Amino acid sequence: MKLELGTIQIKQFTFAEKTSLAGGHLQLCQRELEEFIRTIHPQIVEVETVIVHPGEEVRIMPVKDVIEPRTKLDDGCCFPGINRGEEAIVGSGKTLALKGISVLTTGKVVGFQEGIIDMSGPGAPYTPYSTLRNLVLRIEVDEQCNQYQHEEILRRVGLMTARWLADQVKTTPADEVTTYETLPLAKQHAAYPDLPAVGYVYMLQSQGLLHDTWFYGVDVKKIVPTLMYPTEAMDGAIVSGNCVSACDKNTTWSHQNNPVIAELYRRHGKDLNFIGVILTNENVTLSDKVRSSNMVARLADQMGISGAIISEEGFGNPDADLMMNCYKLEAQGIHTVLLTDEYAGRGGESQSLADAHPSANAVVTAGNANQVITLPPMKRVIGHSVYANTIAGGFEGSLHNDGSITVEIQAITGATNELGIHTLSAHSG
């Protein structure tokens, strides 16, 4: 499967009377944008749209999702499965991505694990999204919506707005086009027979109510492990709908820009042969964990790989899935490297992971999510700061009278992202 990914770097992002893109300056008609958003669902009762830039004294919370605007330049569409009749396979053809910006959703979100993004101050370096020019959508729904409908509405608004935005400027020539290609298994092995065959085990959050990730519009709780071409992620085959702790939640943006996939492609044909991706879920019951990890091991054997990177999403319960995937691959002679984060207590005195195994001897950590930080007051809050006392990482008294917030960094969106998007790590002192 071959994908030509064209990118345009957005250097300036403003509202204007007419939508246009020239010289890296994206001008967006706010009236047309808000009219479009209101057509997405009849239970939307309030829409606020704001463009925020790096360095501004702005706090966004609670954050539902972050999405990079992308669109197909030929047949098909990004984010397949979001609408009926859009079930075509993605990951091939031509795609346009608008880099340096995002569509970011907030509002009175249903979960308690959506997080905080500060665009400046000491909290900004903890989130990769503070470096983007963010189109923030504050969406409120009517009181008739239950929590599941509420989540679905915000998810649809974010995805459809991101696609709509890229569609408005899709005739603009790309600054750069990069081609990514993965061949069927036999041909992929034959391409570089002398290099180590490496695969990627991509764990997706699927632990229960509102802990959802979607693959081609299907709740990942309902799938068994499957093979995926890496380029499918770039076209939005995987989208976020979950409410895991904000620090290690994989947003849709992070799936679109998965750095594990990017790095494996960069090294493909040089010092490794990137064979493909095993997509798997994170389960609640022991029997489901055993079943999924058994199937991951079988698929890895079928792929003929000698090494694998395994990335986790979330913490606690999924640590058992991570370890099962690890030791079952290692038992087959497949060397593994694990990507995770830690919940080691505020002073680092607690056990970092809820499960462990001797075969997990190559682990990369994205940092300790229990680290405490005080975020100063901001000139503007988009969303609802009252959730500071109830989001994961917060506590009663987190929100101070002056607007400052004291929380664990697990409340900051992307702070310990387990795909390795961010720069935070941990070491023994």
Considering the candidates 77, 78, 145, 243, report the single residue annotated as catalytic: 243
Would you say how long the chain is, in residues? 429
Active-site residue, 243 included: yes
Mean pLDDT of the chain: 94
Whether the Cβ atoms of residue 51 and residue 135 lie closer than 8 Å to each other? yes
Q: What is the pTM of this model?
A: 0.95
Q: What are the CA-CA distances from residue 427 to residues 166, 313, 365 (Å)?
A: 41, 21, 9
Dist CA 98 CA 78 (whole Å): 13
pLDDT in tens, 141-191: 998 888 888 888 999 999 999 999 999 999 999 999 999 999 999 999 999
**93 Cβ partners below 8 Å, 6+ apart?**
3, 4, 72, 73, 74, 75, 76
* Residue 187 CB-density burial (10 A; 0-12 exposed, 13-18 middle, 19+ buried): exposed
pLDDT higher than 90, residue 387: no
Q: Give the whole-number percent of the chain exceeding pLDDT 70.
A: 98
Residue-level pLDDT at 109 = 78
Q: What percent of the chain has pLDDT over 90?
A: 82
Strand 58-67 vs strand 380-383: parallel, antiparallel, or unpaired?
A: parallel
Model pLDDT for residues 296-344, shown as the tens digit of each residue: 999 999 999 999 999 999 888 899 999 999 999 999 999 999 999 999 8
Instruction: Band the pLDDT of 207: cuts 50, 70, 90.
Output: confident
Confidence of residue 426 (pLDDT cuts 50, 70, 90): low
Of 114 and 371, the one with more pLDDT: 371
The predicted structure's pLDDT at residue 211:
81
List the domain boundaries for the chain: 1-409
Residue 400 tokens, joined: 């101070």
pLDDT of 428 reads 58
24-48: pLDDT as tens digits: 999 999 999 999 999 999 999 999 9
pLDDT tens digit string along 87-135? 899 999 999 999 999 999 999 876 667 899 999 999 999 999 999 999 9
Residue with tokens 């990769």: 128
Listing DSSP states for 65-129 in one string gives EEE--EEESSSS-SSTTSSTT-----SSEEEEEEETEEEEEESS-S-S--EEEESSSTTGGG-GG
Per-residue pLDDT at 10 exceeds 90: yes
Residue 354 binned pLDDT confidence (cut-offs 50, 70, 90): confident
